[in-house]
Structure 1
Amino acid sequence: MTRTRLAAAALSAAVVGLTLSLAPAVSMAAPDTGVRPATATVQWADSEADFAAVEQTDGQGILVPQGWSWAAFGAAEGTTLEDVVDFSAEGVANNGTSPQVVLLHGLDESIAPATLPALVDDAAVEIGVGTAFGLLIAPVDDPARETAPVVAIGGVNGSATVWAGPENEPVDTATLVQEMTSRGYIVIGYLLVLGDRPFPAEPTEPEVPVDPQDPPVLLLSELAEVSALADEAPSAAVAAAAAPVEGAASVRFADLTTYFTPQPSAVLTLATTSVTTAQATSVGLPFSASGFAPGETVTVGLSAGQSGNEVPDVSFVADAAGAVSGTVVLPADLATVGSFSLVLIGSSSGQAALAAFEIISGAAPVAVPVPAPATFAG
């Protein structure tokens, strides 16, 4: 598995001229009035099994793998993720055992600065007060050597997102892109920091021998210097936060959305379990379903035993609650007599639900008018 090395976060100001204080944040973006299309991939990370524990070097540095991983400042040897966070219906939150818990996501492919504004504009994080979102940036010519977090102040708010810039001065995304471009940096991942408890002002930094074959990595003691600023979020924004205090409900960035809430089970219900061949190709099969990702495209299939076919040109879009409903009209070549299952598959999440029904021979019922009694005006 390819890994990137997370290099001294506290020293990154000297590397890229960016100050890395983490601010308590809330999602201050206005709620969507419509359903936002799902990212290419949707996943749930709702238990320790969905996170890799970062590996530590002899100098207490950490290696960041691709996908989700975690580290906790000040945690005792043998500590598990579920020792320091709580997973609940609201998401994942620091349980107070560790001052800060860091959830890191290493990207499969790096992101060039020029593409960052569009990604930030499309990004969304549901985080509570005391949680921060940041990007992991690294030199394009040596991304394995020095990686540093650049933190969004006040959460991710589309084109209005503000980042912790030089000398603690806030900068917009365009300025951040200029800084990264001039210094030759790329984005190699992102992270969430759960918790804003205070740290020592000047933590002791253990000496680590420099080995050309094993470059410096982030020291957990240095991670302690990434301390929280005073909470400057407006009270209305705090009240609107969807995630718990010091917690995160979801992160949408690039082509991935991760939900830290419990993964739902997709369920499909048919309005009828028996239709004629004529009904299947005319009025169709009404259905309702739930448990999909909000905004994802749901495709339809028809299975019989071990074989199945996609129903062409039929798809639906899940609503903000992950529910979808409608009617599936089958093409004539699929509407044959027999026992089948209708299958719904989430294109982004891979969630699947099925329900059995039968197609029987016969024409669609014909409505016969019922004569009404004649009335006369006298």
Structure 2
Amino acid sequence: MFPDWAEQLRAREQQGLRRFRQVVESPQASHITINGHDYLAFSSNDYLGLANHPDLIKSVEEGARHYGVGAGASHLIHGHSAAHHILEESLAQFAGFPKALLFSTGYMANIGVVTALVGREDAIFADKLNHASLNDAALLSRAKFIRFPHLDLTALEQRLADSNARRKLVISDAVFSMEGDIAPVKQLTALCEKYHALLLLDDAHGFGVLGRQGRGSLFVADSDVVHSPSVVYMATLGKAAGVFGAFVAAQADVIETLIQSARSYIYTTATPPLLSHALLTSLKLIEQEEWRREALLQNIAQLKNDLLSSCWKLLPSSTPIQPLLIGESHEAVRVSQALHERGILVPAIRPPTVPQGKARLRISLSAAHQPNDILRLTQALNELAPHS
């Protein structure tokens, strides 16, 4: 007998855990259209406001005229376009590594890296709040999967010291997607060098936003570890970069190993070359338009200030991800739905994505948001907050 999928779905809905898709009818921006209605959106990863930039649209058109649309084959057959190759070289230079390799998505990049670099005789050490793609990659690798408490470097060091694995790989988000906090990259790298481990950093939410000229979490403050042979760096290109895809940057022998062994790279059609052509323009905008990161910082500061007196507290975060802790799932859903009725989109994040009792609104800020947009959100939140 087949499982009762309908009953499982009903139970999920009763628990406030069922998710629904919304059909967007406009380009991604701070204001979008869904089902004919206009909304102020705080639910996008378009942190720099590039997803609908006219220069990127122009570059897509140029790329389509020059390269066509589909790549037509995997990279190792004849799908590796000059556009892909030029972008890989540009990304390696931008991120400060010898080589870079394009993947279709960040999920596929993490799966490919982890399963290519470690196996049955090896060990993976993972922060407990890592993204699901890193956890899935660890399970698929068949390596011993060892987790440590969030950002607890003392616990990580103890686990590294106790391990006799053939190879050791530490995997961590650089910016944690549900918390908005930043991993201590310099200390993580030092531990990996001490215990002869590799460090895979997933900088999906830091690339383009953090560090000098938006070069990512490796360039924050004194995190001068970009040239460490221990570091394997992954970043996505569909968030702050405004387009699509992901890349991995590392030492040349690591990248060559991925080309030869990463199944999620080998066994899939290459992404449309026109996207790589557009991403060259995106890189220039990220590097040159510092005002976007400055506007983002101003928006973060305004949000924090406007919610100082709220009964709901923002979790500590200096990134565009600003989680507002609500508590119970049904209450987070109530507030999210009430905002929706006011024309404001902020998603409610519930278990199992976050722990029980820690449901939250995940406010995602963009350089495209204006001060009046932030004010509209915070006034609505203050009106919806319970008052004693």
Taking structure 2 as the reference length, the TM-score comes to 0.23
Larger radius of gyration: 1
In terms of fraction of residues, the more strand-rich structure is: 1
Structure 1 or 2: more helix by fraction: 2
